[in-house]
Amino acid sequence: MDTTGQEFVHAAPAPGRRSLVVSAVGYRVAGQTPALHRGLPSPYLTLIFSLDGPVVTGRTPGEAIGPGATRADIVVGGLHQSPAYVVRPEHEAGIQLALHPLAARALLGVPAAELTGQLVTDGTDVLGRLAADVRERLCAADTWDARFACLDAYLARRVAAADRRGAARPEVAEAWAWLARHRGAGTLRGLAAHVALSERQLSALFRAETGVTPKQAARLMRFQHAKARVVRAVVAGAPPDLARVAADCGYYDHSHLVRDFQQYTGVSPTAWLAEECRNIQAGGHMNGED
């Protein structure tokens, strides 16, 4: 653990699950000042196994610290378009996974669209009571390697049993892959032509599977790419050139990037960096997702 009391451990997904699990990060933080953290939208689903008390979240700061907050030891989050507010206590620990949305059927047993009604869902409601047993084994494990191995074995069992859960339509899978290759750039017309569907057909199928439209998914991918560029600049010790980031990531201009940052974080890029600088420097945002 470093002198700031923050520890982040990144594990490479098992070869057979690299198309399903985008990143896996173990974290342990102690001695921090209690505050609210912004859980940002991304083109990935979130699965968290807390090892140190429940994760407390809300759609607004007031909800997160009030009686209407969601509290869960295992958290599943779908694709969303605004930040989730997470109570950051004095000490916390857990494992957070970023999951490919089209892996939701195999890993979670439901399409990603079923997760969009709520900001987050209690993981046992999605995964069943066995997930609580897995969490207990994670808490009892002595090392990060043992915890990651336990979690990977659990996911492998779920994937092995996934045949009966069906799969996403191939047109939707190819549409997602096309958007990812273009980092959220391109047009809906070009995407629909690529998968040989009308724009209306593609949008309906895409939303039914993922919970978002192709345009919304594209914006999330573009924002994720831009945020990763900003984070890498901070890690390298250089102030991020937002105009350059905007141009390289397919935004019309600097103002366009700022508007997306304000929607997805609730604040400007500069304000978000000020909040997250310590986390970034400790490695908390380097999740291997970009």
CATH number of residue 73's parent domain:
2.60.120.10
Predicted confidence band at 1 (pLDDT cuts at 50, 70, 90)?
very low
Query: Number of structural domains, the chain?
Result: 3
pLDDT tens, position by position, 4-21: 588 889 898 877 787 899
Predicted confidence band at 175 (pLDDT cuts at 50, 70, 90)?
very high
For residue 4, what pLDDT is reported?
54
Is 115's pLDDT higher than 80?
Answer: yes
Q: Identify whether residues 66 and 142 lie together within a single domain.
A: yes
**CA 55 remoteness from chain centre:** 15
Q: What is the mean pLDDT of residues 276-284?
A: 68
Q: Which two tokens stand for residue 38?
A: 């912004």
Neighbours of 286 (CB within 10 A): 17
**CA 109 remoteness from chain centre:** 18
Q: Identify whether residues 161 and 42 lie together within a single domain.
A: yes
Higher-scoring residue by pLDDT: 107, 282: 107
Is 243's pLDDT higher than 90?
Answer: yes
Q: What is the mean pLDDT of residues 60-85?
A: 95
Q: Identify whether residues 15 and 110 lie together within a single domain.
A: yes
Q: Identify whether residues 62 and 95 lie together within a single domain.
A: yes
For residue 238, what pLDDT is reported?
82
**Helix, strand, coil content of the chain in percent (nearest 5):** 50, 20, 35
Q: Identify whether residues 199 and 57 lie together within a single domain.
A: no
Q: Identify whether residues 203 and 231 lie together within a single domain.
A: no
Higher-scoring residue by pLDDT: 12, 96: 96
Confirm whether 1 is domain-assigned: no
Q: Among residues of the chain, what percentage have pLDDT more than 90?
A: 74
Q: Identify whether residues 158 and 204 lie together within a single domain.
A: no
| 8 A C-beta contact, residue 220 and residue 184 | yes
For residue 24, what pLDDT is reported?
95
| Residue 18 identity | R
* Distance in angstroms (rounded) separating the CA atoms of residues 133 and 138: 9
For residue 99, what pLDDT is reported?
97
Of the candidates 8, 12, 14, 50, the one whose C-alpha atom is nearest the C-alpha of residue 152 is 14
Helix/strand/coil for 216: helix
Confirm whether 188 is domain-assigned: yes
Confirm whether 288 is domain-assigned: no
Q: Identify whether residues 55 and 181 lie together within a single domain.
A: no
| 8 A C-beta contact, residue 141 and residue 79 | no
Site of tokens 């500069």:
270
* Distance in angstroms (rounded) separating the CA atoms of residues 18 and 229: 22
Q: Identify whether residues 157 and 266 lie together within a single domain.
A: no
CATH assignment at residue 240 = 1.10.10.60
**What is the average pLDDT value for the chain, to the nearest integer?**
91
Predicted confidence band at 233 (pLDDT cuts at 50, 70, 90)?
confident
Predicted confidence band at 284 (pLDDT cuts at 50, 70, 90)?
low
Question: Strands, E, within the chain: which ranges?
Answer: 6-11, 21-29, 35-39, 45-50, 55-58, 70-72, 74-77, 84-88, 92-99, 121-122
Q: Identify whether residues 182 and 95 lie together within a single domain.
A: no
Confirm whether 141 is domain-assigned: yes
74 forms bridges with which residues in the sheet? 49
Alpha-carbon distances, residue 117 vs 1, 62, 212 (angstroms): 38, 20, 11
Q: What is the mean pLDDT of residues 252-277?
A: 90
CB burial string 165-189: b at 16+ within 10 A, e below: eeebbebbeebbebbeebbbebebe
Confirm whether 287 is domain-assigned: no
* Distance in angstroms (rounded) separating the CA atoms of residues 6 and 100: 27
Q: Among residues of the chain, what percentage have pLDDT more than 70?
A: 94
Domain, as residue range, for 204: 170-210
Q: Identify whether residues 58 and 117 lie together within a single domain.
A: yes
| 8 A C-beta contact, residue 98 and residue 22 | yes
